[in-house]
Structure 1
Amino acid sequence: MHVIKNGKVYNDETGNLTKTSVENGITYDDDDNVVVMRALSFKTFAEFADEEPKNWLIEGVIALDEDSTWFGKDGGGKSTLIDDIAVHVASRRDWRGHKFNRDETESCGVIIFATERAALHRRRLEAYKIRDNLPGNLPIAVIAESINLCDPDCVEIVSDTIYDFERKNNCTVGLVIIDSWSKALGGCDENLAATQNYACGNLTKIRDRHFNNRFHFLTVGHPGKDGTKGERGNSAKRAHMDLAVCINKGVAEVVKANDIVLGALATFEPQEFTVTRGAEKVGTYDIPERSFTVSILAPYSPAAAPVTREARPLVFEPTGKNAEALAVLKRVIASHGQDGAVSMDLWKAELFNADLLPGKNPRVPFARFKNSLRQHIIADNNFVRLNSQSQQTHRPSHSLHP
């Protein structure tokens, strides 16, 4: 009935300017019809049948027009795993048993905003190129310049960078990686819901500037001190994300998802790979042969690393004083244990001797130790023993620093 242009009301049939009046905050035309000035767009129930199914980039892993968070302890292989995904997307290959779901003739670009260790990303990607005999012009870019997702200018900066990359590489970007999330917040407090909501909202605004391309944002994060409680920072980020994946001990595990099964998504093993650059002459300078070694993921083998979607507990190694408290318990069990257990009082006394508990009111800090170490100990009837299942799990080393 009406068309709004530059704040003016026009008749949608004649195109003529319509006179309006305002009463009690409501705008009316000459026929006393309500003029809708600021309504939000909507779809009706009848239109839901036209809704397209989810548009997968990698089946069951990466969907276009969605955001995900992948987090894990330092040295757990999360950035290495992300580089592996990036290479498979850019080379249009299936990833660890999950089908690449795009037109194989279409060039699918990947941009990595490496807010930390950009050079390491580049070395890993070079190692993949040599090991997997990949083309030298894969559409992957690593950006070392910092971004601030809490600055409104980031919407234009990031989206213009994507446009520029697509134009110069004749591709369509399908995956945008931010590694790491906390470094992309411009120093704002990640423990505030306002910070996380503002940054996540800017991801949506960046995507909205690309009308014909609904790429996936993959963010990389860290777990909190108690790794069992999820990613570090305010939970508003997790609420925004369509997919949350915890990377721990060679397993990428889905811990939150909209429409896929929770549990193990992929298993992986690290592989050391050495890249050697031959001697060369640059001008009058003779540059000798040099090499570097990085950790990448070993090639996927369905027989060696089957993917199961059964949920399993995530086990994190304790750090700081929690690690010291667990070490004290191991020593006490080794010297005084009976059937692999000691009394809570004995453990508490040894914690006091190790200056890990205060002389006054030790009850609360002792309870914190027990709670933080609940994956690693079994407490029963005032006795405590080690959780053998936790102790048998070995964390492989995934990070090298060439």
Structure 2
Amino acid sequence: MNPTDLSLDDLDRAEAEIETGKRGMRFDQIGSFEPNAPSFLIQDVLERDSQAGVIGDSGSGKTFAVLSLAACIATGKPFAGHSVAHSGPVLYAAGEGRAGLVRRFHAWAKANGVDPLNVPLYLADRGAGLIDADQIAELRAAVRKVAQLHGVPVILIVDTWARALSGADENSAADAGQAIAVLDELRREYGGMTTLVIHHLGAADKTRGRGSTALKAALDSEFLVARNQSSTILLTATKTKDGPTPAPMAFELEDVFLKTLEDGRKVSSAWARPVEYVAESRPAGKNQSVALEVLKQLYAAQKQTLDGAGFAGREALVLVSDWRQACEAAGLDRRRFSEVKASLVDSGKVFLEGPHALLDADAVSGAASESGGTIVPPGRRTHSAMSEIGVSDAFGHFGQNPKGGR
């Protein structure tokens, strides 16, 4: 309902319900709350009572990775070396490929020595609709039934975001906001439950989910799934709202024989087996070399500015938007930036955290030596106040200024 459509009777009715304690909100003095450490589902990876997202192209292995995550949460088994801090019922609402999910789960269970019938992982008979009122009611009733029979779910997985928004505009912030509100309400109703959505990448920019950015803005954490040149599945954090960024995780698909049918056909599938993450080292192309050098110089320039302003201990951070402008000023075709950025992220030379681009440890050391200071590399960043210095402060390194500035 549009706020302008509210009548005085509607407002009076709402206020009466608030007075009787049926509904309402309140403000509490913030100092009365004790600061607590984050409560995790998967230690240092996925928080309880949070909204998470996993993005990736078709064929990237995102469903394999998420199914492994779901099974580990349901059974309490470690996920890619991270302990499961809170296990419990897991809900998986898939809008497509349910038969394949069943085979993949049985492959995971067999490979991990788990009886499939003892795993509290529940697969919905249809996708989760987050727009249509009838579908929302069906979802809420289905979640409630599992909670009554098996205990409060610890996570609800929605696969995929596009199917959940069926009948709506994926590019609309209003439609995305409505769907997010449904998930928020479910999390409030089942305190501590996390919701996770699986989403496809955009056609042009392979570093972000397609459609409205309202989804990513609402996420507490986001992970990108991609394959490297060896077909290893890489799970990399692209957003962490609070706390340190998890280190990248790697998986390889391992085939598992399941059974032989009466007609002699064999049924098999695969599961995402955790392996050690190794950043690929491959020769950088000309554009990648230019972009990487630009980012190093932006880091060095920003560090010098911070040191000169008396903030020697402050983190040096570079906005992706500033990096893009600097690359264009250095001669890189603006149409190639997204491709070059994705290539550097995939190779492990650059990490993305929110709006910032971070260098790997080796590149950070080089940038620090140029500035004569110390830059905090990914994985060792603190939570001091973050200063953002415009790209114009660093353009002395390139001998020109961007058009229009910031």
TM range (shorter): 0.5 to 0.7
Aligned residues: 280
- Which letter maps to 1:268? F
1:171 — aligned with what?
Answer: 151
Distance 1:152 1:53, change over 3 A: farther
1:82 — aligned with what?
Answer: 66
Within the candidate set 235, 247, 252, 1:252 is matched to 235
Structure 1 length-normalised TM: 0.62
**Residue 43 in structure 1 maps to residue 28 in structure 2:** yes
2:78 — aligned with what?
Answer: 94
Distance 1:231 1:97, change over 3 A: same
Secondary structure of 1:252's match? strand
2:219 — aligned with what?
Answer: 241
Secondary structure of 2:248's match? strand
1:282 — aligned with what?
Answer: none
Structure with a larger share of its residues in helix: 2
CA contact (8 A) 1:114 1:178 kept: yes
Distance in structure 2 (CA, Å) of the matches to 1:47 and 1:271: 51
1:296 — aligned with what?
Answer: 271
Distance 1:67 1:376, change over 3 A: closer
Distance 1:228 1:128, change over 3 A: closer
CA contact (8 A) 1:65 1:216 kept: yes
2:37 — aligned with what?
Answer: 53
Distance in structure 1 (CA, Å) of the matches to 2:19 and 2:204: 61
CA contact (8 A) 2:89 2:152 kept: yes
Structure 1, unpaired ranges of 5+: 13-36, 279-286, 316-366, 378-386, 391-402
Q: Any residues of structure 2 matched to 1:119-130 within 5 Å, and which?
A: 119-130=99-110
- Which letter maps to 1:187? G
2:46 — aligned with what?
Answer: 62
- How far did 1:207 drift? 2.2
2:169 — aligned with what?
Answer: 189
- Which letter maps to 1:173? P
Within the candidate set 57, 62, 65, 1:73 is matched to 57
Secondary structure of 2:118's match? coil
Structure 2, unpaired ranges of 5+: 1-11, 228-232, 285-332, 348-406
Distance 1:289 1:43, change over 3 A: farther
Distance 1:238 1:376, change over 3 A: closer
- Which letter maps to 1:207? R
Structure with a larger share of its residues in strand: 1
CA contact (8 A) 2:129 2:139 kept: no
- How far did 1:39 drift? 7.1
1:399 — aligned with what?
Answer: none
After superposition, give the CA deviation of every residue in 1:330-378 in whole Å (9 maximum; x if it has no partner).
xxxxxxxxxxxxxxxxxxxxxxxxxxxxxxxxxxxxx67645644599x
**Residue 207 in structure 1 maps to residue 192 in structure 2:** no
Distance in structure 1 (CA, Å) of the matches to 2:98 and 2:267: 15
Distance in structure 1 (CA, Å) of the matches to 2:113 and 2:192: 30
Distance in structure 2 (CA, Å) of the matches to 1:229 and 1:248: 10
Distance in structure 2 (CA, Å) of the matches to 1:10 and 1:176: 30
**Residue 140 in structure 1 maps to residue 124 in structure 2:** no
2:253 — aligned with what?
Answer: 270
Secondary structure of 1:268's match? strand
CA contact (8 A) 2:206 2:338 kept: no
CA contact (8 A) 1:139 1:171 kept: no
CA contact (8 A) 1:251 1:264 kept: no
- How far did 1:79 drift? 0.2
Distance in structure 2 (CA, Å) of the matches to 1:92 and 1:53: 21
1:321 — aligned with what?
Answer: none
User: Which deviates further from its counterpart, 223-232 or 256-265?
Assistant: 256-265
Percentage of pairs with the same residue: 22
User: Which deviates further from its counterpart, 92-101 or 236-245?
Assistant: 92-101
CA contact (8 A) 1:156 1:206 kept: no
CA contact (8 A) 2:180 2:215 kept: yes
Distance in structure 2 (CA, Å) of the matches to 1:10 and 1:216: 28
- How far did 1:52 drift? 4.1
